[in-house]
Amino acid sequence: MHVINPADYRHIVFFTGAGMSAESGIPTYRGKGGTWSAYNWEEYACQEAFDRDPEKVLSFHEMRRRAVLACEPHAGHYTIARVQRGHPHVTVVTQNIDGMHQRAGCTQALELHGSLWRLRCSLHGAVEDLGETYRSVTCSECGQWLRPDIIWFGDMLDPEVTRMSIAAIAECDLFVSIGTSGVVWPAAGYPEIARNNGAYCIEINPEASPLSHLYDEHLRHPAGTALPSLFDTGQ
Ligand code: APR
């Protein structure tokens, strides 16, 4: 595996999915032991389910918060944070809602699919709530239920987060994708944007994905070992 010197690149984008946090003990969504094989998303992760039974949906997400709080970022998360600290232009675009990049020290991460650590009122917007259990699940302004500030199936992505993500990916010269199955759109369309704009594209995933043909290099290793080896920042 060749070692990358971040200084050789003008703008680096790390594009991460659930596989990025697998070694921290956070289950991926698909595949063996995936969240969606244990839980039917139509009952726990869409607006209709929330309208039907908000407490059921909120307790599912609370369970996930507790599970994430019991986990720690791994060497791969810390490598990305280190590269970001040591380089003028590194953008993290993540599909993950676990906040692990920030816990590892990343100062910037575009959260395409929202965050477990925010709730939102459809009238009054997002409320940050970092507690193991929710501080409040009703809006202090209007009293209606606060839903997790997560992009569920059927939801539109945040237009500003999308705009910033695509802008970064379209102009980066190194694109590193880690731990995504590449089956959920519109995020699955992002690697092609990087490729079409001439970035050098690397896929880190123990398994091939439907997008593997888009990459110049494939590291079939777990993120926690591939990233520290690939970016030997010598620290
Ligand atoms: N290191 C790197 N990649 C890994 C590791 C690891 N240790 N373990 C698993 N993977 C890979 C798997 O091979 C798989 O390709 O991570 C990928 C995880 O795929 P998914 O579970 O489909 O997760 P993701 O691609 O992030 O899902 C996209 O779907 O359910 C929605 O909103 C949710 O953001 C999520 C979106």
Output the ligand 1 site: residues, CB below 6 A: 17-19, 22-23, 28-31, 34, 95, 113, 178-181, 183-184, 204-207, 209, 222-223
How would you classify the pairing of strands 114-121 and 217-219? Answer: unpaired
Quick one: pLDDT at residue 130? 87
Q: Which atom of ligand 1 is nearest to the CA of 36?
A: 30
Q: Give residue 233's pLDDT band: very low, low, confident or very high (50, 70, 90).
A: low
95 neighbors 184 (Cβ within 8 angstroms): yes
What is the 18 CA–ligand 1 centroid distance (Å)?
Answer: 4
- CA 166: distance to chain centroid? 15
- Measure the CA–CA gap between 83 and 79, rounded to whole angstroms: 6
* pTM score, whole prediction: 0.97
| Candidate list 113, 124, 218, 221, residue with the active-site label | 113
Per residue in 205-230, pLDDT tens? 999 999 999 999 999 999 999 999 99
Q: Is 89 a catalytic residue?
A: no
H or E element in which residue 51 lies? helix 47-52
pLDDT of 73 > 60? The answer is yes
Mean pLDDT, residues 80-107 taken together: 98
Torsion sign, CA atoms 64, 66, 68, 71: negative
Q: With the CA atoms of 151, 222, 25 and 156 taken in that order, what torsion angle do they form, in degrees rounded to the nearest 10?
A: 0
156 neighbors 186 (Cβ within 8 angstroms): no
3 neighbors 230 (Cβ within 8 angstroms): yes
